[in-house]
Amino acid sequence: MSLHSNARVSSPIELIGNTPLIRLRSVEERAGGGVQIWAKCEFENPGGSVKDRAARQMILDALDDGRLSPGKALIDSTSGNTGVAYSMIGAALHIPITLVMPANVSAARKNITQAYGTKIIYSSELEGSDGAIVLVRELVAEDPDRYFFPDQYSNPSNPKAHYLGTGGEILEALDGAVTHFVTGIGTTGTIMGTGRRLKEHDPGIEVVAIEPDDSLHGLEGLKHLATSIVPTIWQPEGIVDRRMSMGTDEAWDAAEWLTRDEGVFVGHSAGANVAGACRVAREAGPGAVVVTILPDRGDRYFKPMKWERNYVW
């Protein structure tokens, strides 16, 4: 049931946040039982992912203090979901959006952003998300008055969205009774903001960052920090208790369990998060209440057909 079921709104922006928590009983069994594992359904956001929260906060804060003003276009690099979020919010607020993304991101992501009217500039697929970051910095340096560059990797509004939203919502839904929070790191906004809010409530809540185990991995949205440009907002001291390495196969398997055993069809970073939550719950044993995040839905990774107006198949 959507928490918005009786709401009246005048913009999709108002539908962002207040996502439900789903209890993953089959994963609890895999963890040995006696534990609770809850996952926050971020795919329920109107743009389909957790990134709606960060995009909304970055745009609203910039409109507030004048960094984003009429005549300027928003430009940023994105692995996809933030781009969809910017595109949706940009369309709703009539702000032009330009995205720089690696040429090999999924066709679905490219097509969805373009459907909202967004302009895409492709960076080298060989350089991954770091190549997109470097190119967007060059474009902004060439024409600084033309663009507002939120830079999700260094913008404090990104973790702020999760501090104000995700973290507080988790505490409210579970009456503050949480023992562990486990989530993957991309820009690190989700873990930094949610982790800060949870630690403020109870410093004993263990916060675990899930990281791909290799620079070449299949977990879209997540970053292998050792071989990446480290986001400025990544300030783990006092917030992140430990980092957990996750293999692509284990994460993909967990995404499959969720789909087949729970009827929850999620993307691979959600699989990584749930596999991590399962490990943490197994280690902690009975009494643990582990919360994780389902950043997006699995069908985001399918290639759409009708979107392309290509009816020949």
Asked if 228 touches ligand PLP (CB under 6 A), the answer is no
Asked if 221 touches ligand PLP (CB under 6 A), the answer is yes
Using CB under 6 A, which of 47, 90, 102, 184 touches ligand PLP? 184
By the rule CB under 6 A, 295 interacts with ligand PLP = yes
Rounded-to-integer distance, Cα 80 and Cα 280, Å: 29
79 is catalytic: no
Which tokens sit at 185?
A: 């790191």
Assess 165 for contact with ligand PLP (CB under 6 A): no
53 interacts with ligand PLP by CB under 6 A: no
Does 155 bind ligand PLP (CB under 6 A)? Our answer is no
Ranges within 242-271 binding ligand PLP (CB under 6 A): 267, 269
32: left (phi over 0), alpha (psi -120 to 50) or beta: left
Cross-strand pairs, 182: 208, 292
Residue 296 found at the interface with ligand PLP (CB under 6 A): yes
Decide whether 106 or 114 has the Cβ nearer to ligand PLP. Answer: 106
278 CB neighbour count, 10 Å cutoff: 25
In terms of CB distance, is 54 or 135 closer to ligand PLP?
A: 54
Exposed / middle / buried, residue 72 (Cβ in 10 Å: 0-12, 13-18, 19+): middle
Task: Please report, for residues 49, 63, 114, 250, 251, the alpha-carbon distance to residue 270 in angstroms, rounded to integers and kept in the order given.
Answer: 11, 32, 25, 11, 8
Pick the binder of ligand PLP from 167, 186, 276, 298 (CB under 6 A): 186
CA distance 157 to 60: 9
Residue with smaller CB distance to ligand PLP, 35 or 295: 295
Clarify whether 245 is annotated catalytic.
Answer: no
Residue selected from 83, 128, 167, 189 as contacting ligand PLP according to rule CB under 6 A: 189
Does residue 75 sit in helix, strand or coil? Answer: strand
- 166 contributes a contact to ligand PLP by CB under 6 A: no
> Considering beta carbons, is residue 188 or 292 the nearer one to ligand PLP?
188
Among 77, 113, 188, 292, binds ligand PLP (CB under 6 A): 188
Cβ neighbours for 75, distance < 8 A, ≥ 6 positions apart: 97, 98, 99, 100, 136, 139, 140, 147, 148, 149
- Those residues with Cβ within 8 angstroms of residue 215's Cβ, 6 or more apart along the chain or in another chain: 224, 226, 227, 228
Residue 81 binds ligand PLP, judged by CB under 6 A: yes
Stretches 22-30, 84-92, 187-195, 239-247: which one binds ligand PLP (CB under 6 A)? 187-195
The tokens 């790191």 sit on which residue? 185
Per CB under 6 A, 208 contacts ligand PLP: no
User: For ligand PLP, how many residues bind (rule: CB under 6 A)?
Assistant: 20
Q: Return the closest-CA partner of residue 192 out of 227, 226, 164.
A: 164
Q: In what order do the strands lie in the sheet with 97-102?
A: 119-123, 97-102, 73-77, 147-148
The residue (of 147 and 163) whose beta carbon lies closer to ligand PLP is 163
Q: Which residues does the annotation mark as catalytic?
A: 51, 269
Positions touching ligand PLP (CB under 6 A) are: 49-51, 79, 81-82, 184-190, 220-222, 267, 269, 295-296
